[in-house]
Amino acid sequence: MIVGLPLAGAIVGSFLAVLLIRWPAGETAIAGRSRCDDCRRTLTPAEMVPILSWIALRGRCGGCRVRIDPRHVAMEVAAVAIGLAAALAHGNPLGLASALFGWWLLILAALDAEHHWLPDRLTLPLVPAGLAVAALGLGPALVDRLAGAVTGYASLALIALAYRALRRREGLGGGDPKLLAAIGAWLGWQQLPLVLLAAGLIGLAHVAVRRFSGHPVSGSDALPLGTLMAIAAWPLWLIAAS
């Protein structure tokens, strides 16, 4: 587990990076050969080893020598860290479930941070996946997770409706309630207040850092709530599932 999950994370992270770069641009991340994002040259097998190839090439394409998008190595390193943490926190098969949940949240967090986008094709399947893990007897009880899915969606959907009625503008994206429903389907309803509290604190810390760094901050600035919830949810899962 300690060796296998980080190695799997490196492969998963490589795919997630391609997904993060290509999907918002309207390209497929599944079909076609791996290629340089700039010169479009097909990569050789030696250039596709996660993390190690980036180090060997000094972060530049072996053909055009243009800098490789740092999102590739960032996603690979993050996925490796998730795999290692899951293996250290939980034994098999719970460790595998924890890693899958972490990798799933990783791509959602990255998409929301960059594009304020939580696609239904990623958020909605996370709900039955969490309930299926519960049915296997892994983590919180199934009934708590069913309640978590319903409560998670309803709470943010009602907040979004109230904000729209009071401020006459959108305050939450349509994907945020669905993501909280998915998180509830994994963690159970009891953990949802902690998820929202932690997400809020992380968001406030981010705003404080920007302000003290000299960046302008206003009440109309958009924060990726999905990213904040994903960052908060996975460590809580590691604790709640133990």
For the ranges 25-39, 40-54, 188-202, the maximum mean pLDDT occurs at: 188-202
Phi, psi (deg, nearest 5) at residue 11 = -70, -45
Domain final position from 74, 89, 104: 89
Q: Of the candidates 68, 32, 73, which has an alpha carbon nearest to the alpha carbon of residue 50?
A: 73
Whether residue 104 is contained in a domain is answered as: no
Q: What is the DSSP letter of 43?
A: P
Q: Confidence class of residue 222 from pLDDT cuts 50, 70 and 90?
A: confident
Whether residue 100 is contained in a domain is answered as: no
Residue 219 has pLDDT above 80, yes or no: no
Do 140 and 80 lie in one domain? The reply is no
Whether residue 26 is contained in a domain is answered as: yes
Looking at 83-87, 182-186, 221-225, which range is the least confident one?
221-225
Q: Confidence class of residue 60 from pLDDT cuts 50, 70 and 90?
A: very high
Q: What integer is the mean pLDDT of 215-238?
A: 90
Do 129 and 236 lie in one domain? The reply is yes
pTM for this model (two decimals) = 0.94
Q: Confidence class of residue 23 from pLDDT cuts 50, 70 and 90?
A: very high
Q: Confidence class of residue 220 from pLDDT cuts 50, 70 and 90?
A: confident
Do 236 and 124 lie in one domain? The reply is yes
What are the CB-based long-range contacts (under 8 Å, 24+) for 85-92? Answer: 85/238, 86/5, 86/238, 87/1, 87/2, 87/4, 87/5, 87/6, 88/2, 89/238, 89/242, 90/238, 90/241, 90/242, 91/1, 92/1
Q: How many domains is the chain partitioned into structurally? A: 2
- The residue range of the domain holding 140 is 118-242
Distance from C-alpha of 166 to C-alpha of 62, rounded to nearest angstrom = 55
